[in-house]
């Protein structure tokens, strides 16, 4: 049985797991992303890899999924707004610390590969994955292979602009899709509502400890599951932006399926049903075309780990 380690590096956490060749995670570890300093992050990656390697011994390679642009040699993170990395040779740094071959991939590409191989995308030869987390990531699978674009940095859906001169994004532009349709966007909606309509947002404020800044994603999800109207409206707003964006992607790419992953996808039907509704309403030519199916990722937050590990296995 060939074992590899997949590592998912996001804006808030480093998650790693030992994965077998059937896509099963045998053990998983998680640590907070220490800072925007890539040297410190590389050290945390090495710590979790060494712990897992020590427990399982015969590990072949490490796949590293990072939130950002990855160069065509799959070794350097060129630009990662949510990590504040620029031209970061992360493959070299991690390899020197762990003593194993390292493959670097965009985290959403890794998630897309994991879902295509072992999850909700099995049987689809053309699918698009959209991860809703700190920001928005994207991955495309065409004819059963990752599609990365000419220079390796395609499918950065989170940074197409949906509101000219809109909210400032970490990439430096304004109005990017991820400012309106992501985990951070959900929290921003809830906090804004709590500031301008505290009576309406009373349950959100209660769960957040009394102030808007204490409201986080889990609090919004909990309140929505309780049926709180304010929290449900926050979900509907984010879902509307998400569905409209997917309709734009369908007009460009025409995939067989969209797979929705990332931390926000844990909300399940709270998110999925209003996304589907907004998608149908915004889709050009609706009623006269085959409509892409929209599904929640089966592997959940582990998809990036599984995909990165499998890409390392097939390096």
pLDDT, tens digit (0-9, with 9 covering 90-100), for 235-253: 999 999 999 999 999 999 9
Q: What is each CA distance from 157 to 109, 145, 176, 195, 245, in whole angstroms? A: 12, 18, 9, 30, 9
- Whether pLDDT at 201 is above 80: yes
Report how far residue 159's alpha carbon sits from residue 295's, in angstroms, rounded to the nearest whole number. 22
Q: What is each CA distance from 141 to 114, 129, 183, 189, in whole angstroms? A: 11, 8, 24, 32
pLDDT, tens digit (0-9, with 9 covering 90-100), for 11-49: 778 999 999 999 999 999 999 988 778 889 999 999 999
Query: Considering the entire predicted model, what is its pTM?
Result: 0.87
Domains of the chain: 3-113+302-313 (3.30.420.40), 122-297 (3.30.420.40)
For position 133, what pLDDT does the model report?
87
For position 48, what pLDDT does the model report?
96
Mean pLDDT of the chain: 94
pLDDT, tens digit (0-9, with 9 covering 90-100), for 125-152: 999 999 998 899 999 999 999 999 988 8
| Residue 135 near residue 178 (C-beta atoms within 8 A) | yes
Determine the average pLDDT of the residues in 155-176. 94
């Amino acid at each position: 049985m060939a074992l590899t380690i997949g590592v998912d590096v996001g804006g808030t956490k480093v998650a790693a797991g030992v994965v077998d060749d059937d896509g099963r995670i045998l053990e998983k570890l998680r640590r907070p992303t220490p800072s925007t300093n890539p040297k410190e992050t590389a050290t945390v990656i090495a710590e979790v890899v060494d712990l897992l390697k020590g427990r399982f011994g015969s590990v072949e390679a490490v796949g590293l999924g990072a939130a950002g642009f990855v160069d065509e040699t799959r070794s350097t993170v060129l630009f990662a707004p949510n990590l504040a990395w620029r031209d970061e040779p992360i493959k070299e740094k991690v390899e020197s610390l762990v003593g194993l071959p390292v493959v670097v991939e965009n985290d959403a590409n890794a998630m897309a590969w994991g879902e295509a191989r072992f999850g909700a995308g099995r049987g689809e030869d053309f699918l698009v994955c959209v991860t809703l987390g700190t920001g928005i990531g994207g991955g495309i699978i065409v004819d059963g292979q990752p599609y990365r674009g000419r220079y390796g940095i395609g499918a950065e859906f989170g940074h197409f602009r949906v509101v000219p001169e809109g909210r400032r994004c970490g990439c430096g532009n304004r109005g990017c899709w991820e400012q309106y349709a992501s985990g951070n966007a959900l929290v921003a909606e809830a906090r804004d509502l709590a500031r301008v309509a505290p009576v309406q947002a009373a349950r959100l404020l209660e769960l957040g400890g009394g102030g808007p800044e204490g409201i986080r994603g889990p609090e919004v999800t909990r309140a929505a599951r309780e049926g709180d109207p304010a929290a449900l409206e926050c979900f509907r707003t984010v879902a509307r932006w998400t569905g409209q964006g997917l309709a734009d992607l369908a007009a460009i790419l025409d995939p067989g399926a969209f797979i929705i992953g990332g931390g926000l996808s844990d909300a399940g039907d709270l998110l999925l049903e209003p996304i589907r509704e907004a998608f149908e309403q915004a889709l050009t030519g609706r009623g006269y075309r085959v409509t892409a199916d929209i599904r929640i990722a089966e592997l959940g937050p582990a998809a990036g780990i599984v995909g990165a590990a499998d890409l390392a296995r097939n390096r």
